[in-house]
Structure 1
Amino acid sequence: MKSVELFVGAGGLGIGVSQAGFTPAAVMDWDRWACDTLRENKERGLDLVRDWPLHECDVREFDFGVVEGEIDLVTGGPPCQPFSMGGRHRAFLDSRDMFPQAVRAVRELRPRAFIFENVKGLTRSSFANYLEYIRLQLTYPEVTAKKDEEWLVHLARLEDYHTRGRYKGLRYKVMLRVLNAANFGVPQRRERVFLVGFRSDTSVEWHFPAPTHSKEALLWEQWREETYWDLHRVAKKDRPDGGAAKARAMKLERKPNGLRWRTVRDAISDLPDPELAPGSARKFHDHRFQPGARSYPGHTGSPLDEPAKTLKAGVHGVPGGENMLRRPDGSIRYFTVRESARLQTFPDDMTFHGSWTETMRQLGNAVPCQLGRIVAEEVKEKLLRA
């Protein structure tokens, strides 16, 4: 099955889509550093990206007519700064809003399905009308805005088409949900909104994948069975006191179904601490100590025995305090690039191009590969049946 990836960045979603079995006919981004990361890994022969037809370009200038053959899936994460909790929340007033290009790709490529993702901030009540506007544009991608037509007027026109129910043109059945990556085995609490659509003629019935991992299962293994600590060979004297987490675990009446959340310790315990053992750390690519971490209210780092807090791209230079590890003794340090890649479930043999700040920006903007794969696998299964 063939796919096209927009706004590929460092490739988190794209790698997940490739892992699900799609073959990209085109991938694109205008960020030179992200494209350098992909080019470097292509040259190194990294299997997942080796054959990607990469285009470093402005998607607004890309001619989708050069993409040959029928496209089964279009994917991408349109730049999220207009909707990010850390941004200025300008949405449709922000020139960085690339959702119109996502709609154009669907209109011109007519894929059987699409997957678009964005930050949870897109679901804020202040963006409710604009989110509905995005959803209806993706539902009726050929009902385009007229020259100088304001978006609210275009939205009203789309609503008319939707309520009439007699539209015969290109149409998609669009579903939307916020997914927490930790609930799908990613060692990071990262919430992203996914918009998934199937072309109406596919007659697909689809729902988002059910969570496979839970916090309750983690608490049970940590404080009721204590198997978590045994797995990591943490002596009783070195275990945290548990506090509220232990109290919550003791209130659980039975062992939860499913798997437990994966923690920072699960993700990086086999890597030497780059601050305490720099010589050993140098044996691992992109695993170097970065000085300067400091804790302040609201930015206290990620505890070792929980999923990491959301990695951030850092809109003001060096990423914010959440891109830190908080050790059990309370000391802190920045996550290395390799550790951050682990938290985003990138393959270990992938390298990242640029300075620490630049590579952390790429990682902070990425979709966890594993979450992308799980969603794409569900879409692929339905397309195969159809």
Structure 2
Amino acid sequence: MLKAVELFAGAGGLGMGIALAGFEALAVVEWDRWACDTIRENGQRGYPLVKGWPLFAGDVRSFDLGTLPVGIDLVAGGPPCQPFSMGGKHRAHDDDRDMFPTMVDVVRRLQPRAFIVENVKGLTRPTFANYFQYILLQFEFPEVARKRDEEWADHLKRLQRQKTSGRRTGLSYNVVATLANAANFGVPQRRERVFIVGFREDQDVKWSFPKETHSADALMVDQWVTQDYWERHRIGRKARPPMPPSLAGRIEEQRQLNLRANVVRAPWVTVRDAIQGLPDPERLRGEARYHNHRYQSGARSYPGHTGSPLDLPAKTLKSGVHGVPGGENMMVRDDGTVRYFTAREAARLQTFPDGYVFHGAWSEIMRQLGNAVPVALARIVAASVAEKLLQADMLRQVRAAGRA
């Protein structure tokens, strides 16, 4: 079985996706005590994907990497995103929470065959362009380490010279960075995240980011051309929302082109799709049939804070709660009123299974979920990496047999 170590594990979304892709965790590192409690308690309950996880509850920089084998198959992690978040102070390399140097150091010391790093879309914004290039070059040439008291901009110049020299001596990686929208991979949430994936040079791997499987156009056809979407949800014509005016012209074009036969991707998964089968939390009266599914009062709509419509993928869940701009942690009900997502509904939007229980109060759980990687997207990316590593193993075996 392929072996992995996960850093900055959070509540376990990335790690669970990696486990589903066939990797065995040799170490799972997370410092936040609430997230650690979530992982630990699910493991103690015997939840399959996290049972037996070797959890280290502490700072990544305090973890003894000497307990792990050099050349491990995979290192993965989502370094804290606040330095690059659209909602943060955008301090990047000047932010003490920037853990990219630590992630690079782990790659340098463990020399994994591959790595997966996930972070926020804000990392790609123009003001961070040079630092983003700096991050990618550090992963490409981890042995070209930053010198003591060297400014990062000077280190960047050395890395650029290494890149343009064409020399691939020592430890180096082929690195690909991709901005992916989770909704295009079947996640019921328009969540854009950067994935940085690297393969060690000696693996001779040719890899590209997985193909998108879902689309907005397919949802438009499903709702407004075939109207199968409404029938699946048993929503009669009178109860259906009006077609958005912006779609009217496009719908007629799709009818003329008979796009139903030409749409090759599946429809985006909507909020309504995701929460189907969950009872209304306001009517549960303390019923505990579903974990973490409790009504939270206090939601209100105002300009710029309008919540997620039921018939589209949700807005990006955020780690804040009441003060989150845009109302990302609220839904808009059929009657136009809003309410907060329950923790279980938010977990479904992040594609966590219903059997996975989150530890803490609602606000704390929403923070864990807002910071998480969707399990389904993590599995897709990790499975594509696993496939290439296994192919590399088979190729080496064939070559060895030919030399024997």
TM-score, with structure 1 as normaliser: 0.97
Partner of 1:216: 217
Give me the identity figure in percent: 61
1:37 Cα offset (Å): 0.5
Match of 2:268 among 255, 261, 271: 261
Q: In the alignment, which residue of structure 1 is the partner of 2:297? A: 291
- In structure 2, the gaps of 5 or more residues are 393-404
Assess if the C-alpha contact under 8 Å between 1:24 and 1:52 holds in 2. Answer: yes
Contact 1:318 1:357 in 2 (8 A): no
Q: Deviations over 1:26-49 (max 9, x none)?
A: 010110110010011011000000
Q: What is aligned with 2:187?
A: 186
Contact residue 61 and residue 102 of structure 2 kept, 8 A? yes
Within 5 A, what are the aligned runs for 1:1-386? 1-68=2-69, 70-244=71-245, 246-247=247-248, 248-252=250-254, 253=257, 254-255=259-260, 256-275=263-282, 277-279=283-285, 282-314=288-320, 319-320=324-325, 321-386=327-392
1:372 Cα offset (Å): 0.4
Name the SS for the 1:130 alignment partner: helix
Deviations 1:179-205 (A, max 9, x none): 000000001100000000000000000
- Is contact 2:25–2:53 with CA below 8 Å preserved after alignment? yes
In the alignment, the residues of structure 1 paired with residue 69 and residue 172 of structure 2 have an alpha-carbon distance, to the nearest angstrom, of 22
Secondary structure at the counterpart of residue 162 of structure 1: helix
Q: Any conservation in 1 of the 2:70–2:109 contact (CA below 8 Å)?
A: no
Number of residue pairs aligned between Structure 1 and Structure 2: 384
Distance in 2 of aligned mates of 1:51 and 1:221: 42
Structure 1 runs (4+) deviating above 6 angstroms are: none
Contact conserved, 2:70 with 2:111, CA < 8 A, in 1? no
Is this contact kept in 2: 1:7–1:76, CA < 8 A?
yes
AA paired with 1:178? Answer: L
Separation (CA, whole Å) in 2 of partners of 1:17 and 1:138 = 20
Q: CA deviation at 1:246?
A: 4.2
1:90-117 C-alpha deviation (Å, 9 max, x unpaired): 0000000000111011011110000001
SS in 1 for 2:14: helix
Q: Please, what is the CA RMSD of the aligned residues?
A: 1.3
Partners in 1 of 2:276 and 2:148 — Cα distance?
A: 57
Rounded to whole Å, the distance in 2 between the matches of 1:301 and 1:157 is 46
User: What is the deviation of 1:251?
Assistant: 2.7
Residues 265 and 245 of structure 1: is their aligned pair in 2 closer, same or farther, counting only changes over 3 Å? farther
* CA deviation string 1:242-262 (max 9, x = no partner): 123641333323122211100
TM-score by length of 2: 0.93
CA distance in 2, matches of 1:305, 1:245: 16
User: How many angstroms does 1:123 deviate by?
Assistant: 0.2
Q: Distance in 2 between matches of 1:134 and 1:190?
A: 22
Quote how far apart the aligned CAs of 1:282 are. Answer: 3.6
Distance 2:237 2:246 in 1: 16
Structure 1 unaligned regions, length at least 5? none
CA deviations on 1:34-76 (whole Å, 9 max, x unpaired) are 0010011011000000011000011112221111464101100
CA distance in 2, matches of 1:155, 1:242: 51
Instruction: Give the conservation status (yes or no) of the 8 Å contact 1:273–1:281.
Output: no
Classify the secondary structure of the residue corresponding to 1:270.
Answer: coil
Matched residue SS, 1:96:
coil
- Contact persistence 2:70–2:112 (CA under 8 A): no
Question: Would you say the 8 A contact 1:319–1:361 is kept in 2?
Answer: no
DSSP-derived class of the 2:285 partner: helix
Tell me the CA shift for residue 273 of structure 1. 1.2
Contact 1:182 1:188 in 2 (8 A): yes
Instruction: From the superposition, tell whether residues 39 and 318 of structure 1 become closer, same or farther in structure 2 (CA, over 3 Å).
Output: farther
Cα pair distance change 1:344/1:99, threshold 3 Å: same
Kept in 1, the 8 Å contact 2:69–2:110? The answer is no
Would the aligned equivalents of 1:272 and 1:281 in 2 still touch at CA under 8 Å? no
Deviation sequence 1:340-361 (CA, Å, 0-9, x none)? 0000000110000111111100
